[in-house]
Structure 1
Amino acid sequence: MVLADLVIGAFSTLALPPVCFVPALAVGLLYLYRCIDDASGARERGIHAFFFGLGYHTAALSWLTNAILTRAHDFWWAVPIAAPGCALILAPFIMVPVLVAALVPAGIARMGLFAASWTLADMARVFIFTGFPWNPTGSTLELPGLAGDILIQPAALIGVDGLGFLVVFFGLLVWHGHRARVAVALGLLAWGAGGWFRLDHPDLLPVVNPEVALIQGDIREQDILSREGAIEAFRLYLRLTAEGVAKAREDAPDRNVVYLWPESGFPGLLDEDEAARNLIARAADGSWGMIGSDRRDAQGRFYNSIMALDESGRVRATYDKATLVPFGEYQPRFIPFNLLPEQLTPGKGLETWTLPALGSVGPMVCYEIIFSGHVTGKKRPDWLANITNDAWFGNSAGPRQHLATVRMRAVEEGLPVVQAANMGITAAFDSSGHELARLPWGKPDSLVLSVPPPRVPTVFSRLGRIVPFSLCMVVVLVTVSLGRRRRMIIEG
């Protein structure tokens, strides 16, 4: 039975981006749900759920092996354990709905309790280390094209976690007989109509955002380890910047032009290298830009940063990445030995820059974009700019799953989002999550487009994760009450 748990858990991940075969998750959910009654007790239920979760998260995070292989000479020993090791930490979260749902009799109440407790457990992943809410269940609805655009629109109200609740509840309800399937079909029709209406009636603010040139250099990590390789990478980014800025000026002569380099796009310490900044300013021909670079403070601590350069190459603002990747950029304190050759220091928190040419922009670095409800500072920006270096992930599901979070944040916040990635995928989304353009994996080029205006603030952008949390808590209270009443009727 353990093998079946692992295999069905792994099969269920076909519902996640980039495949988005949602029926695979419905099959997995049915299997878990049946375990509640078929298992002999809580211990057996927990074992089934744990090994299901182990298979699920190992398959979903299999791309982590690519990150290890980029430095296999240092971390060869971690190759076979990277994905299973993370899955061991995450698997207990899938035990929660199986154990909790067993508290009420089978039926609609149990399904609702299962869906709500699944969602609450999914949301709780933000409390592991610096948080690891990768692949939230609601991301299964991010189908490519118009279908996905329509399905994810409720995220503006209930966030990706609220979508996850609906996916799980509908995924169980569809197995509950003919009437339930009719109810699911009617619910999907109403969902689709609401999503279409929201797409067709965008309530946009009168904001003119800049024309951007997103630069993708397609530089492998190994290619910048030497001085010669770093110089060649820098020259390539200068050339792509000059080409991108020229095209942006041609396409939108009446707009401010901004260029955007990816995370660690500059292979050094940009704020300490005046000569490099002058060369960048010359290539940018009077445009402002945002560049990913490491930074060192007076105490010798290092930060993963994004810097705003003006037309003369002067650093006008610096944002230090505030949420670091566990085991990638910092090491949790409970580990008694050194795993990382160098650890980074977290920044002070999210910011909104209001600068000439850039306008009002929220700068973000890579991992930070995956945190639903936590992507803007105290002041709401007019657009979000995320930089990343997904070269670590390889040409795998990893960059596609990361890009799915970018799309979802656009819907939740009602803000256009652009992403510049070193090897891919560089892309842009409007404030409804519709993809405007992209550069595929492995293509050095510049992507030039006009950043569209933001929508009026969404409910989710105002209230955040309190919305899906409240939804789930109400469902828990109602289903527990109904379940207790039904149990009393059965026993009485």
Structure 2
Amino acid sequence: MSPIDQLAARVPRRLRGEAWQCFALGLLAAVALPPFYLLPVLWFVVPALLTRLARAGGWRRAAWLGWCFGFGFNLLGLFWVTEPMLIMASNFWWAVPFAAPALAFATAFYMILPALAVFAVPQRNQAGRLAAVLLFAGALVLSNLAQEFLFTGFPWNYWGADWTFAGRLGLAMIQPAAIGGIFLLTLLTALAAGLPLLGRRGWAASAVLLALWAGFGFARTSAGPAPLTRYTVALLQPDFAVPGSFTQPALQARWRRDLALTREALDKAGKGPNIVVWPETASPALLQTDAAARAAIAAVAGNTPVLAGSFRLAADGSMRNSLVAVEGKGPAVAWYDKWKLVPFGEYTPAWIPLKVTPGGGFTPGPGPRTLHVPGIPSVGPLICYESIFPGIITDPKDRPAWLLNISDNAWFGDTTGPYQDFATTRLRAVEEGLPIVVDTNSGISAVIGPHGRVAGTLGLDRAGILIGKLPVALPVTPFGRFSVTMSGILGFYTMVLGVVCLIVSITLM
């Protein structure tokens, strides 16, 4: 009897049903996510899940068990979404009990495809069990791809993020993302954790897979940190309270704080070509159209480029959540409008009949864009939520020299949310082979090299300034070139290999 089965035998009889067991297995799987990183649990959870799916007795039952697993997994993995409701409890108190369960309810459906793939395989011999592992891993990747694009997309709680822990081993284990993105990390995780289903030989095969995986990562990072450019980046982390006051005195105080931190950042950075970054919506002024605000920045920064989060009023009268580049007293030299808006927070999806977003929401920008700001390397901006979308964050026709993610994670407090967001954003650097600079209002701010190596951070709930040299980009990676197509191919052919094993299994029966 496996350790999981022994534990299940101690549970009260009314909770021993396999639906409850799969729900509990999902909860256990979630503790492998950042910031817990209790990865060994997966080597017991995945075989236990595959065993229960194999004896489901019918495809509807298998789909139900898969959903129960997904619900438990996402319920614990997404509990942080209630934090904004708690911050604004006077208006949204009614949503607190429903936010995380409702989102977990929806995302749990993405576990049905892997569950059905496993159920379709009779696990009566070693070939059948291997087929189940392969089909589960491949289907999980394809399901993750669907999760990125369907219903506006929400690519969160992917198993590949489980390997973003600190240290040389963690750095090595995330390197396959350069080939197949976070999806390949998920595929390898599901394979390695599922192989113990085959018994002792499976445990040995899992160990070999992990050794080869780590070896590839250590070889790819053996040269050490990427070389540095001559550009110094200064990141402002003001730690403004949210939602904050919108009275004139409060906005003026916020503006003075922005300018004071900018002056302090330039003093600390010293001489040289510097770049100053303000986080998402840091500016209370509309920088694109407010000449007086740009002049105030120029009085502090001179001709040093300032890349600032700001609202922007477009020519059609729509409001945008933007990054505006200011350089000297003249007009804004460039801007970028966020195009992946947060559903219900920043806009209401078209398929929802009622407009529930406060103030009517924002209008999305046209898509990924590379900004060419005079005097600094070309930059690919990302605003908050956009950094969680692998493979679609850069302009494929105009590859930037670095990525910049500005955000405001103060809405999620000191929960798992900011840590998970940082882990996922870090993987974008590995996938694209590009350094990424992360500047948030309340942390975690960081400078990250193109291998995912963190060069410097400023932690949660701290006000301050982070200064670092901008690393040099790597040549375009396979994932950077082929995007999610590469991930889809890997997932599909893993399933094909699973079908081959299934045919062998049937032949041997």
TM superposition score normalised by structure 1: 0.95
CA apart distance, 1:89: 1.1
What residue in structure 1 maps to residue 448 of structure 2? 429
What residue in structure 2 maps to residue 47 of structure 1? 64
1:280/1:313 contact within 8 Å kept: no
Q: Distance in 1 between matches of 2:20 and 2:284?
A: 46
Structure 1 pair 313–130 and aligned structure 2 pair: CA distance change class (3 A):
farther
1:224/1:233 contact within 8 Å kept: no
Q: Distance in 1 between matches of 2:20 and 2:109?
A: 17
Paired amino acid for 1:183: A
1:128 aligns to 2:150 (yes or no)? yes
SS at match of 1:264: coil
Paired amino acid for 1:269: L
1:305/1:320 contact within 8 Å kept: yes
Q: Distance in 1 between matches of 2:197 and 2:260?
A: 57
**Which residue, 376, 380, 385 being the options, matches 1:367?**
385
1:387 aligns to 2:409 (yes or no)? no
2:163/2:173 contact within 8 Å kept: yes
What residue in structure 1 maps to residue 179 of structure 2? 157
1:353/1:359 contact within 8 Å kept: no
Q: Distance in 2 between matches of 1:46 and 1:406?
A: 32
1:104/1:487 contact within 8 Å kept: no
1:349 aligns to 2:367 (yes or no)? yes
1:213 aligns to 2:219 (yes or no)? no
CA apart distance, 1:289: 0.9
1:25 aligns to 2:42 (yes or no)? yes
Count of paired positions: 485
**Which residue, 403, 407, 411 being the options, matches 2:422?**
403
CA apart distance, 1:404: 0.8
What residue in structure 2 maps to residue 225 of structure 1? 246
Q: Distance in 2 between matches of 1:222 and 1:140?
A: 31
Paired amino acid for 1:404: A
CA apart distance, 1:247: 1.2
**Which residue, 458, 470, 487 being the options, matches 2:489?**
470
1:307/1:319 contact within 8 Å kept: yes
SS at match of 1:129: helix
Once the two structures are overlaid, the 10-residue window that deviates more, 65-74 or 106-115, is 65-74
For the aligned residue pairs, the C-alpha RMSD in angstroms reads 1.7
What residue in structure 2 maps to residue 112 of structure 1? 134
2:368/2:393 contact within 8 Å kept: yes
2:294/2:328 contact within 8 Å kept: no
1:204/1:456 contact within 8 Å kept: no
SS at match of 1:375: coil
Paired amino acid for 1:181: W
SS at match of 1:354: coil
Q: Distance in 2 between matches of 1:396 and 1:301?
A: 33
1:10/1:55 contact within 8 Å kept: yes
CA apart distance, 1:471: 1.3
Structure 1 pair 135–313 and aligned structure 2 pair: CA distance change class (3 A):
farther
Once the two structures are overlaid, the 10-residue window that deviates more, 315-324 or 354-363, is 354-363
CA apart distance, 1:363: 1.2
Q: Distance in 1 between matches of 2:351 and 2:91?
A: 21
Paired amino acid for 2:170: G
Paired amino acid for 2:258: Y
Paired amino acid for 1:235: R
**Which residue, 449, 471, 495 being the options, matches 1:452?**
471
Once the two structures are overlaid, the 10-residue window that deviates more, 385-394 or 230-239, is 230-239
**1:71-90 superposed matches below 5 A:** 71-90=88-107
**Which residue, 134, 141, 145 being the options, matches 2:163?**
141
Paired amino acid for 2:343: P
Unaligned runs of 5+ in 1: none
Q: What is the CA deviation profile of residues 345-369 of structure 1, one whole-angstrom value per residue up to 9, with x for unaligned ones?
A: 1101111122223221111111111
Q: What is the CA deviation profile of residues 389-432 of structure 1, one whole-angstrom value per residue up to 9, with x for unaligned ones?
A: 11111111111111112210111111110011001111111011
CA apart distance, 1:379: 0.9
CA apart distance, 1:476: 1.3
Structure 1 pair 226–128 and aligned structure 2 pair: CA distance change class (3 A):
farther
Q: Percent identity?
A: 36
CA apart distance, 1:191: 1.8
Q: Distance in 2 between matches of 1:204 and 1:470?
A: 30
SS at match of 1:186: helix
Unaligned runs of 5+ in 2: 1-16, 124-128
**Which residue, 222, 229, 232 being the options, matches 1:200?**
222
Q: Distance in 2 between matches of 1:239 and 1:176?
A: 62
Q: Distance in 1 between matches of 2:31 and 2:428?
A: 22
Once the two structures are overlaid, the 10-residue window that deviates more, 309-318 or 137-146, is 309-318
Q: Distance in 2 between matches of 1:489 and 1:26?
A: 27
Once the two structures are overlaid, the 10-residue window that deviates more, 2-11 or 79-88, is 2-11
What residue in structure 1 maps to residue 11 of structure 2? none
1:297 aligns to 2:318 (yes or no)? no
1:63 aligns to 2:80 (yes or no)? yes
SS at match of 1:221: coil
CA apart distance, 1:181: 1.6
**Which residue, 203, 206, 213 being the options, matches 1:181?**
203
Paired amino acid for 1:231: Q
SS at match of 1:200: coil
SS at match of 2:42: helix
Q: Distance in 2 between matches of 1:304 and 1:247?
A: 29
Q: What is the CA deviation profile of residues 247-298 of structure 1, one whole-angstrom value per residue up to 9, with x for unaligned ones?
A: 112xxx3x41010000101124222322222112222233111000111123
Q: Distance in 2 between matches of 1:130 and 1:418?
A: 26
TM superposition score normalised by structure 2: 0.92
**Which residue, 246, 257, 280 being the options, matches 2:297?**
280
Q: Distance in 2 between matches of 1:453 and 1:231?
A: 38
